[in-house]
């Protein structure tokens, strides 16, 4: 591999990893704070992508559809937490898995009814449609750089929110001791609603961001969910920092394995996960 190809693949890996982080961060946040294993997280990614397509078709503005989609996702999050997830806090993980798998089926059926089964696509928004030449043949699209930067910005925002704000303090407190937070007179249920809704919104925003560079198809949520679980497990269930490191690791390993070990590439990230779990059974940054 030449140096320039190596550098290009490095960028590919980082960019893929950052997008994975954006999707996985909501999953790990909800698990860390609320102890809820949300298998329908991938469905929210799908919903985000479909909403983006729908609003772009009707408003013509990608920025506006991103905002509308995020707002709707937030509402879906609040609604789902209030009606369904709330029943699960005192129950075990198996019940959570059952309910959230059921939600996957519901969201898939809704998608099929509302938007049909044909593959859909969203055009890259005009101001970001350019490309930076890398080699003689290869270019790097500005939009993908923008998404990578967006992911970094969201990671920084989450770091700031969790470590420097009152909400973040409550989240951290709720994570370590739910009863004590309640005893201090804080409405933990409201906190859970907020956290769950943010988790849903992060997945949907990832879906919106991915829409112009991927195809919007039925089942896109389940496919990404598996990779996200690998990220969350490697990083340590519930750790945002872990999710970031793990997502970058998975992105890089997957990219380089595709080129260097094509026969093994479909299992490399699972081999990586098994290897890390052997050394650190709780993941890299478990609390």
Partner 1 sequence: MFKPNRMLTAVAAGLATLSLSTTVAASDEPIKVGMMLPFSGVYGALGDATRNGLKMALQEKAPQLHGRKIEFIEIDTEARPERAPEISSSLLNNSKADFIIGPVHSGVAMGMLKVLRGKETVMIVPNAGAGPVTGPLCAPNVFRTSFSSWQPSYPMGEVALDNGYRKVVTMSWNYGMGKESLDAFEESFTAGGGEIVKKILVPFPKTEFQAYLSEIASINPDAVFVFFAGGGAVKFVKDYDALGLKGKIPLLGAGFLTEGTLEAQGSSAEGIMTTLHYADTLETAENLDFRKSYQAQFGKPSDIYAVQGYDTGLMIASAVNRMGGDVSDHASLIKTLENTTVESPRGAFTFSAAHNPVQNIYLRTVEGGVNKVLYVASPALSDPARGCKL
What residues make contact with partner 1 under the rule CB under 8 A?
2, 4-5, 8-9, 12-13, 15-16, 112, 116-121, 123-124, 131, 133, 135-141, 143-144, 213-220, 223, 254-256, 258-259, 262, 265-266
Residue 125 CB, shortest distance to partner 1, in Å, is: 13
CB of 62 to partner 1, least distance (A): 14
Q: Give helix 3-34 / helix 220-235 axis angle, nearest 10°.
A: 80
Tokens for 7, please give them.
Answer: 């550098």
CB of 85 to partner 1, least distance (A): 27
Q: How far is the CB of 118 from partner 1 (least distance, A)?
A: 6
Query: Among residues 182 and 222, whose Cβ is nearest to partner 1?
Result: 222
Structure tokens at 257: 């394995």
Q: Which is nearer to partner 1, 176 or 263 (CB)?
A: 263
Minimum CB–partner distance for residue 231 and partner 1 (Å): 14
| CB closer to partner 1, 76 vs 147 | 147
We find the least distance from the C-beta atom of residue 140 to partner 1, in angstroms, to be 7
Of 9 and 282, nearer to partner 1 (C-beta) is: 9
Nearer to partner 1, 105 or 160 (CB): 105
Q: Which is nearer to partner 1, 61 or 258 (CB)?
A: 258
CB closer to partner 1, 43 vs 239: 43
Sign of the alpha-carbon torsion through 112, 115, 121, 122: negative
3-state secondary structure the chain: CCHHHHHHHHHHHHHHHHHHHHHHHHHHHHHHHHCCCCCCHHHHHHHHHHHHHHHHHHHCCHHHHHHHHHHHHHHHHHHHHHHCHHHHCCCCHHHHHHHHHHHHHHHHHHHHHHHCCCCECCCCCHHHCCEEECCCCCEEEHHHHHHHHHHHHHHHHHHHHHHHCHHHHHHHHHHHCHHHHHHCCCCHHHHHHHHHHHHHHHHHHHHHHHHHHCCECCCHHHHHHHHHHHHHHHHCCCCHHHHHHHHHHHHHHHHHHHHHCCCCHHHHHHHHHHHHHHHCCCCCCCC
Least distance (Å) from partner 1 to the CB of residue 150? 17
């Amino acid at each position: 591999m030449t140096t320039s190809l190596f550098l290009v693949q490095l960028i590919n890996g980082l960019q893929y990893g950052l997008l994975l982080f954006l999707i996985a961060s909501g999953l790990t946040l909800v698990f860390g704070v609320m102890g809820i294993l949300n298998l329908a997280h991938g469905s929210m990614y799908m919903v985000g992508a479909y909403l983006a397509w729908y609003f772009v078709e009707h408003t013509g503005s990608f920025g506006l559809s991103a905002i509308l989609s995020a707002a709707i996702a937030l509402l879906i999050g609040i609604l789902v937490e209030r009606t369904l997830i709330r029943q699960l806090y005192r129950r075990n993980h198996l019940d959570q898995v059952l309910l959230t798998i059921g939600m996957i089926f519901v969201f898939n059926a809704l998608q099929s009814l509302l938007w049909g089964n044909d593959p859909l696509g969203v055009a890259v928004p005009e101001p970001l449609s350019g490309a930076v030449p890398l080699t003689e043949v290869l270019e790097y699209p500005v939009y993908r750089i923008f998404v990578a930067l967006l992911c970094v910005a969201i990671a920084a925002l989450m770091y700031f929110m969790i470590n420097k704000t009152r909400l973040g303090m409550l989240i951290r407190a709720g994570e370590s001791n739910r009863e004590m937070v309640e005893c201090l007179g804080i409405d933990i249920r409201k906190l859970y609603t907020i956290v769950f809704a943010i988790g849903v919104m992060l997945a949907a925003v990832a879906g919106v961001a991915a829409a112009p560079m991927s195809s919007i198809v039925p089942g896109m949520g389940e496919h990404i969910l598996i990779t996200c679980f690998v990220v969350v497990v490697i990083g340590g269930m519930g750790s945002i920092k872990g999710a970031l490191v793990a997502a970058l690791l998975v992105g890089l390993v997957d990219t380089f394995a595709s080129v260097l070990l094509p026969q093994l590439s479909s299992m490399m990230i699972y081999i990586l996960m098994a290897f890390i779990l052997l050394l650190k059974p709780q993941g890299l940054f478990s609390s």
